[in-house]
C-alpha cells in the first residue's frame, strides 16, 4: 500500500484521479484482503471527469494586465543541456523546449488543482538531492531564469504553477524519510514526501503527523510548510509554526540554509526557519523538514449533527470545548448548501434523515475509546436535551468514522466536479463568521446571478470550514466563467473582512489569487518589511515571481 | 398472514476497516487492542427487519424484532446500536473475552432461542467476516426443519405467509419462494444500513436487554474442530522499481502498455 500515494500524480495525469480522497482509498484498501471482499461493493465516489487543464484558459489570458518581467531570460536549448547534464536521469527533466511532443507531459505541472490557472512553462526539473536543488537555483540566478517551486500542486491560490514560462522545480523525487526518533517523535524527511506516506510511516511507529487535510494523498510536506497549511486538526496539534523544529532550504543563489534543528528549544538568535513557513516558495526552496510528531491517539470517535441556526452552532462549540476539552480534536462546520452539493455528486445517502441549515462534525482523540465514547455521548445528550442540536449520529465503527468525515472532506472535490469555484478562505471573529456567506449570497442573488437553472452563472454560495479555528471557507460554485461574478464578489468580500479585522487568507495563502489584496489584512509598514525580507533572500526576484507580495 | 416475530442474531467482529494481523502463536487473528464492530452482514439483517416494519412490507405486520448476540461484554454495545436502529429488545449471552463458539453450537442455541421467542422469521448474515464459515443459517434451518433462503438481495411478502426471496447466484439472480416460518441469510446488496440517530440512541438505552449465559441454553463452548495453524497470504513477489512517475510512464511505453 505504501506506494499508492505516489501513484496519485500519474492517475491524475491520466485524467481520472480521485487522488485526494482518502476515504474511498481506504475502503479500497480492504478490498485486497481476501476475507473482506464485501467491501468491494462500495462504489468509489469519484471519477475525475476529464483533464481540466486543456479547457482552462491560460492565466495570461484571464489576467492580461500581468506582464512578463522582461529581465528574465528566455529558455534556450543550451540551458536545457546544462540541466540535463546536471540531473543526469532521463526522468528528472521534462523538456518542452526542444521536444514539442513533451507538451502533454508538461501540462499537469502547468495547471493547478482547481483548473483555474494555467501557465506556459516549457521545462520541469525534478532534482533528487539538496545539492541538485542548489546547483539548479545558482544557475537560474546567474542566468536570470525564473523558477516556480512545486510540491504536490494542490495549492488553492495559483501559487504552485507558472504564470509565463517560469521553470517548474518539482520536489516529487525527494521523498525519503531520513530519520525518526521513536522517543521524542521527531521526524526528519525530504520535502517531497507525500503527507499521507509520511503519516503512514508514522502510524507504523505509533505516531501521527501533526497536520491532516483532504489533499493528503497528493500534497507534499514541503508544500504544507510552504503554505503553512492548517487543516483539520489544527485545533488539537497547533500550527506548523509550533511543530516544525527545523528546515533545510536553498536560497535563490544556491546557498544551502541548514537549520535542520531537532531540538524543541533553541533560543539562539532570530528564528529564521519561521520565515520559510508560509513563504509559498518566494524566498527559497524547502528541501528537508524536521517536525515534532505527537503520539497517535488510540481512540477516535466521531459525531455528526444537524443544527437549526448559527447561534446554535456557536453554543454547541462552546459546550464541546467545555465538556470535551482535552479530547476534542476537530470541530468542523458545514452548511446545508455545501452538503447538498456533496449529495449531488457522491450520491451518498445523508447521515441524518432531516435537512438542517447547519451541520457539525466533532472528532475526539484520546487513549481510551470507551471513555471518550461515553464523554462524547453524554455531551451529545446534553446538547440534544438543551435543544442546541436538532439531530445527530455517532460513528459506530471505523467505516462510519470515515464515511462521516467524507461529508466534510469531499466538499472541495465535489465542488470541483460541478464547475469552477471562487474560493475564499477567511478568518473572521466567530460571532460574525457565517454572516459573510449570507451577505455574499444576498449580493450575488441581487445581481441576478444566482439560480437553479442553467441561465444563472452561479449555482450556489456555500460556507464550511474549521469552526474550531474561526476559519471559514466561502465558496461560490459556478456553472461557467462569467466576469460579472468576480466583479460582484471582489473587492466586496475583502472589504467586508477588512472592516472586521479579519484575514483574507486564513490558511491557503496568497499565491497569485490574493497578491493584490494583501493590503486588506496587512498594513503598509508590514508589507514594506516583507518586501525587504524578499529582497534579502532573493535579490533578483527569480523565485515564484508575479505572486505573493 | 401471521404477524412477524423476527429474530436477528448478530456477532461482534473485528472492524472490517482494520487490517487483520495473525497472532504470534499462529492460532488466529489478533483481536486484542483492535477496533471491533458489528459483522457487516448483520447490519444488513437489522436494517432489513426495521425496513420491513417501517415500510409495512409484511401484510400481517411486524410484532417483534429481537436481536441476539453471544459474545463478550462489549457485544452489548452492538446490541444497543441495533436497538437504536429500531429493534425492540435484545438478548445477550455472555461469553468470556476470547471465547468462541463454533457454528453448530450457535445454531443449537439459536434453535432454542427461536422456539422460546416464538420467532417465525430468522434473518442472519450469510457469514461473519471473522471466520467466514457461512454455516450458521443453514444449520439452524436443518435443526428446526424450516425452509431457508440464503444470500438474499431482496425479500418480498405475499399472501398466505408466502415469502419470495431473491438471491444472488453466479451469473445472475434466482428467486425462491417459501412459507413462514423461514430462515433468511443476507447478502450485500440487500439494503444500505443507516446511521443510528441521536434520539434513537438515547431511546435505545431504555429498551430491554435480557442477560443470559451459555448454561441457560445447555451449551458449552467445546470445540469439534481444532485450528492447526493460521497463516497469511503469501507475500507478493516484488516487481521492478521505477524512479518516479515519468520513469513509470516511459517503462509502460517501453512495454507497449500505453
Ligand atoms: C482537497 C483539498 C483540501 C485542502 N485542504 C486544506 C486545508 O484543510 N488546509 C489548508 O491549509 N490547505 C488546504 N488545501 C490547500 C493546501 O495549501 C495544499 O493542499 C497543501 O498545503 C499544498 O501542498 P503541495 O505540496 O500541494 O504544494 P503546492 O500546491 O505544490 O505548492 C503550494 C505553494 O508552496 C510552494 N512550494 C511547494 N513546495 C515547496 C518547497 N518544497 N519549497 C518552497 N516552496 C514550495 C509553491 O511554490 C506554492 O507557492 C487543500 C487543497 C485541496 C486540493
Mind listing the pLDDT tens digit for each residue in A203-219? 999 999 999 999 999 99
Say if residue A328 is in the same domain as residue A399.
yes
Q: Is the pLDDT of residue A387 over 90?
A: yes
| Cα–Cα distance for residue pair A23/A62, rounded to 1 Å | 35
Say if residue A406 is in the same domain as residue A486.
no
CB atoms within 10 A of CB A88: 10
Q: Is the pLDDT of residue A34 over 90?
A: no
- Within a domain: A524: no
Q: CA separation (Å) from B28 to A31, B2, B20?
A: 20, 44, 10
The verdict on a CB contact (< 8 Å) between A381 and B18 is no
Which residue of A lies nearest to B43 if distances are taken between CA atoms? A396
User: Which residues of chain B have a CB within 8 Å of the CB of A89?
Assistant: 243
- Within a domain: A273: yes
Q: Shortest Cα distance from B122 to chain A (angstroms)?
A: 22
Sign of CA dihedral A107, A110, A112, A116: negative
- Within a domain: A66: yes
Percentage of chain A with pLDDT > 70?
A: 90
Q: Span B242-253, mean pLDDT?
A: 83
Cell numbers for A537, please give them. 533572500
User: Which ligand 1 atom sits closest to the C-alpha of A171?
Assistant: 41
What SS3 class is residue A136? helix
Residue where one domain finishes, among candidates A271, A292, A313:
A292
- Within a domain: A519: no
Say if residue A134 is in the same domain as residue A62.
yes
Q: Span A238-267, mean pLDDT?
A: 95
Pocket-forming residues, ligand 1, beta carbon under 6 Å: A 20, 113, 148-156, 159-160, 171, 191, 213-215, 219-220, 222-224, 226-227, 229-232, 280-281, 285-286, 412-413, 507-508, 511, 544
Which residue of A lies nearest to B252 if distances are taken between CA atoms? A10
CATH number of domain containing A210: 3.30.465.10
- Within a domain: A407: yes
pLDDT at B35: 85
pLDDT at B182: 97
pLDDT at A90: 76
Instruction: Quote the number of domains for chain A.
Output: 4
Q: Shortest Cα distance from B167 to chain A (angstroms)?
A: 15
- Within a domain: A528: no
What is the whole-number distance in angstroms between the Cα of residue A396 and the centre of ligand 1?
33
- Within a domain: A513: no
Q: Is the pLDDT of residue A233 over 60?
A: yes
pLDDT at B2: 86
Say if residue A398 is in the same domain as residue A447.
no
Say if residue A11 is in the same domain as residue A112.
no
Of A9, A26, A89, the CB nearest to B243: A89
pLDDT at B250: 85
Q: What does the pLDDT look like over A160-188, one tens digit per residue?
A: 999 999 999 999 999 999 999 999 999 99
CATH number of domain containing A431: 3.30.70.2740
pLDDT at A55: 63
Residues 463-492 on A with a CB inside 8 Å of B are none
Residue where one domain finishes, among candidates A231, A261, A292:
A292
Of A39, A41, A392, the CB nearest to B197: A392
Say if residue A309 is in the same domain as residue A390.
yes
Say if residue A158 is in the same domain as residue A225.
no
Say if residue A452 is in the same domain as residue A402.
no
CB pairs under 8 A between A and B: 106
- The mean predicted confidence, pLDDT, of chain A is 88
CATH number of domain containing A371: 3.30.70.2190
Q: CA separation (Å) from A134 to A131, A140, A148, A224, A406?
A: 5, 10, 14, 21, 40
User: Which ligand 1 atom sits closest to the C-alpha of A276?
Assistant: 43
What is the whole-number distance in angstroms between the Cα of residue A219 and the centre of ligand 1?
6
What SS3 class is residue A411? helix
| Cα–Cα distance for residue pair A314/A209, rounded to 1 Å | 29
- Within a domain: A37: no
Say if residue A25 is in the same domain as residue A61.
no
Q: Shortest Cα distance from A493 to chain B (angstroms)?
A: 37
User: Which residues of chain A have a CB within 8 Å of the CB of B202?
Assistant: 381, 384
Say if residue A165 is in the same domain as residue A217.
no
Q: Shortest Cα distance from B91 to chain A (angstroms)?
A: 20
Q: What does the pLDDT look like over A469-501, one tens digit per residue?
A: 899 999 999 998 888 999 999 999 999 999 999
| Cα–Cα distance for residue pair A176/A2, rounded to 1 Å | 12
Q: Is the pLDDT of residue B170 over 60?
A: yes
Q: In the structure, what pLDDT confidence band is assigned to residue A237 with cuts at 50, 70 and 90?
A: very high
Q: In the structure, what pLDDT confidence band is assigned to residue A6 with cuts at 50, 70 and 90?
A: very low
Which residue of A lies nearest to B13 if distances are taken between CA atoms? A397
Q: Span B36-42, mean pLDDT?
A: 95
User: Model pTM?
Assistant: 0.80
Say if residue A288 is in the same domain as residue A301.
no
Q: Span A419-434, mean pLDDT?
A: 92
pLDDT at A320: 95
Q: In the structure, what pLDDT confidence band is assigned to residue B64 with cuts at 50, 70 and 90?
A: very high
Beta strands in B10-116 (DSSP E): 12-14, 36-38, 62-71, 89-94
Q: What does the pLDDT look like over A269-325, one tens digit per residue?
A: 999 999 999 999 999 999 999 999 999 998 889 999 999 999 999 999 999 999 998
A399 near B15, Cβ under 8 Å? yes
A334 near A408, Cβ under 8 Å? yes
pLDDT at B137: 97
A11 interfacial to chain B (CB closer than 8 Å):
no
Say if residue A132 is in the same domain as residue A95.
yes
Instruction: Note down the domain range covering A370.
Output: 7-30+297-411
DSSP letter for each residue of A9-52: HHHHHTT---TT-HHHHHHHHHHTSGGGGGGGGSPPS----S-S
For the CA atoms of A479, A482, A484, A488, the dihedral, rounded to the nearest 10 degrees, stands at 40
A384 interfacial to chain B (CB closer than 8 Å):
yes
Of A9, A377, A396, the CB nearest to B37: A396
User: What does the buried/exposed string (b/e) look like for A423-444 if buried means 16 or more CB atoms within 10 Å of the residue's CB?
Assistant: bbbbbbebebbbebbebbbebb
CATH number of domain containing A74: 3.30.43.10
A418 interfacial to chain B (CB closer than 8 Å):
no
In this structure, of A17-21, A61-65, A376-380, the range with the lowest mean pLDDT score is A17-21
Residue where one domain finishes, among candidates A292, A310, A337:
A292
| Cα–Cα distance for residue pair A194/A22, rounded to 1 Å | 13
Q: Is the pLDDT of residue A409 over 80?
A: yes
Amino acid at each position: 500500500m505504501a506506494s499508492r500515494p505516489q501513484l496519485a500524480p500519474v492517475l491524475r495525469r491520466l485524467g481520472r484521479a480521485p487522488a485526494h480522497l482518502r476515504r474511498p482509498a481506504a475502503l479500497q484498501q480492504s478490498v485486497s484482503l481476501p476475507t473482506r471482499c464485501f467491501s468491494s461493493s462500495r462504489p468509489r465516489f469519484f471519477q475525475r471527469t476529464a483533464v481540466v487543464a486543456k479547457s482552462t484558459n491560460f492565466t495570461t489570458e484571464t489576467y492580461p494586465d500581468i506582464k512578463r518581467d522582461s529581465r528574465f531570460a528566455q529558455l534556450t536549448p543550451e540551458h536545457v543541456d546544462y540541466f540535463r547534464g546536471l540531473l543526469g536521469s532521463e526522468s528528472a527533466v521534462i523538456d518542452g523546449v526542444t521536444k514539442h511532443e513533451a507538451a502533454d507531459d508538461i501540462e499537469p505541472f502547468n495547471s493547478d488543482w482547481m483548473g483555474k490557472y494555467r501557465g506556459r512553462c516549457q521545462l520541469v526539473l525534478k532534482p533528487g538531492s539538496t545539492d541538485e536543488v542548489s546547483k539548479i537555483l545558482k544557475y537560474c540566478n546567474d542566468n536570470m531564469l525564473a523558477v516556480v517551486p512545486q510540491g504536490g500542486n494542490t495549492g488553492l491560490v495559483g501559487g504552485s504553477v507558472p504564470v509565463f514560462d517560469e521553470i517548474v522545480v518539482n520536489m516529487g523525487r525527494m521523498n525519503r524519510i531520513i530519520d525518526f526518533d521513536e522517543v521524542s517523535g521527531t521526524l526528519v524527511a525530504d520535502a517531497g514526501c507525500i503527507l499521507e506516506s509520511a503519516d503512514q510511516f508514522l502510524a507504523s511507529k505509533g505516531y501521527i503527523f501533526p497536520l491532516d487535510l483532504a489533499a493528503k494523498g497528493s500534497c507534499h510536506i514541503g508544500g504544507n510548510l510552504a503554505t503553512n497549511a492548517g487543516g483539520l486538526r489544527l485545533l488539537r496539534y497547533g500550527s506548523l509554526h509550533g511543530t516544525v523544529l527545523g528546515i533545510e532550504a536553498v536560497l535563490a543563489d544556491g546557498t544551502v540554509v541548514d537549520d535542520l534543528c531537532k531540538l524543541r528549544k533553541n533560543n539562539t538568535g532570530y528564528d529564521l526557519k519561521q520565515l520559510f513557513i508560509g513563504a509559498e516558495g518566494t524566498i527559497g526552496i524547502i528541501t528537508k523538514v524536521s517536525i515534532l510528531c505527537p503520539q497517535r491517539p488510540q481512540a477516535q470517535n466521531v459525531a455528526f449533527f444537524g443544527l437549526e441556526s448559527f447561534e446554535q452552532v456557536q453554543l454547541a462549540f462552546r459546550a464541546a470545548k467545555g465538556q470535551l476539552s482535552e479530547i476534542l480534536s476537530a470541530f468542523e462546520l458545514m452548511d446545508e448548501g455545501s452538503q447538498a452539493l456533496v449529495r449531488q455528486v457522491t450520491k451518498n445517502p445523508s447521515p441524518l434523515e432531516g435537512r438542517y441549515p447547519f451541520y457539525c462534525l466533532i472528532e475526539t482523540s484520546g487513549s481510551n475509546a470507551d471513555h471518550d465514547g461515553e464523554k462524547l455521548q453524554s455531551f451529545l445528550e446534553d446538547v440534544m436535551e438543551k435543544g442546541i442540536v436538532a439531530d445527530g449520529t455517532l460513528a459506530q465503527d471505523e467505516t462510519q468514522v470515515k464515511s462521516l468525515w467524507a461529508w466534510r472532506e469531499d466538499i472541495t472535490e465535489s465542488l470541483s466536479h460541478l464547475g469552477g469555484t471562487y474560493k475564499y478562505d477567511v478568518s473572521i471573529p466567530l460571532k460574525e463568521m457565517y454572516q459573510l456567506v449570507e451577505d455574499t449570497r444576498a449580493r450575488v442573488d441581487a445581481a441576478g446571478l444566482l439560480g437553479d437553472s442553467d441561465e444563472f452563472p452561479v449555482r450556489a454560495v456555500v460556507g464550511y470550514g474549521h469552526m474550531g479555528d474561526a476559519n471559514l471557507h466561502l465558496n461560490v460554485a459556478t456553472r461557467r466563467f462569467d466576469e460579472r461574478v468576480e466583479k460582484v464578489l471582489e473587492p466586496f468580500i475583502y472589504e467586508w473582512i477588512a472592516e472586521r479585522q479579519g484575514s483574507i487568507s486564513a490558511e491557503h495563502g496568497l499565491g497569485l489569487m490574493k497578491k493584490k489584496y494583501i493590503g486588506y489584512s496587512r498594513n503598509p509598514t508590514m508589507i514594506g518589511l516583507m518586501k525587504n525580507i524578499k529582497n534579502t533572500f532573493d535579490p533578483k526576484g527569480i523565485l515564484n515571481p508575479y505572486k505573493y507580495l | 398472514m401471521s404477524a412477524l416475530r423476527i429474530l436477528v442474531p448478530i456477532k461482534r467482529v473485528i472492524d472490517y476497516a482494520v487490517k487483520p494481523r495473525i497472532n504470534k502463536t499462529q492460532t488466529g487473528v489478533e483481536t486484542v487492542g483492535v477496533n471491533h464492530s458489528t459483522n457487516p452482514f448483520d447490519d444488513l439483517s437489522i436494517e432489513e427487519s426495521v425496513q420491513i416494519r417501517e415500510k409495512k412490507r409484511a401484510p400481517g405486520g411486524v410484532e417483534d424484532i429481537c436481536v441476539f448476540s453471544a459474545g463478550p461484554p462489549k457485544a452489548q454495545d452492538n446490541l444497543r446500536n441495533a436497538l437504536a436502529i429500531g429493534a425492540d429488545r435484545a438478548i445477550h449471552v455472555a461469553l468470556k473475552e476470547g471465547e468462541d463458539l463454533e457454528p453448530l453450537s450457535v445454531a443449537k442455541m439459536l434453535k432454542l432461542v427461536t422456539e422460546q421467542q416464538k420467532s417465525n422469521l430468522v434473518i442472519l448474515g450469510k457469514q461473519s467476516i471473522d471466520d467466514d464459515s457461512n454455516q450458521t443459517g443453514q444449520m439452524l434451518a436443518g435443526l428446526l426443519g424450516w425452509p431457508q433462503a440464503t444470500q438474499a438481495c431482496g425479500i418480498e411478502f405475499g399472501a398466505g405467509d408466502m415469502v419470495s426471496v431473491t438471491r444472488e447466484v453466479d451469473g445472475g439472480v434466482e428467486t425462491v419462494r417459501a412459507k413462514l416460518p423461514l430462515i433468511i441469510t443476507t447478502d450485500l446488496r440487500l439494503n444500505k444500513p443507516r446511521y443510528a440517530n441521536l434520539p434513537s440512541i438515547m431511546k435505545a438505552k431504555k429498551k430491554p436487554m435480557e442477560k443470559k449465559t451459555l448454561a441457560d441454553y445447555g451449551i458449552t463452548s467445546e470445540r469439534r474442530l481444532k485450528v492447526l495453524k493460521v497463516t497469511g497470504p503469501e507475500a507478493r513477489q516484488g516487481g521492478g522499481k521505477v524512479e518516479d512517475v515519468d520513469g513509470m510512464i516511459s517503462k509502460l511505453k517501453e512495454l507497449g502498455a500505453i
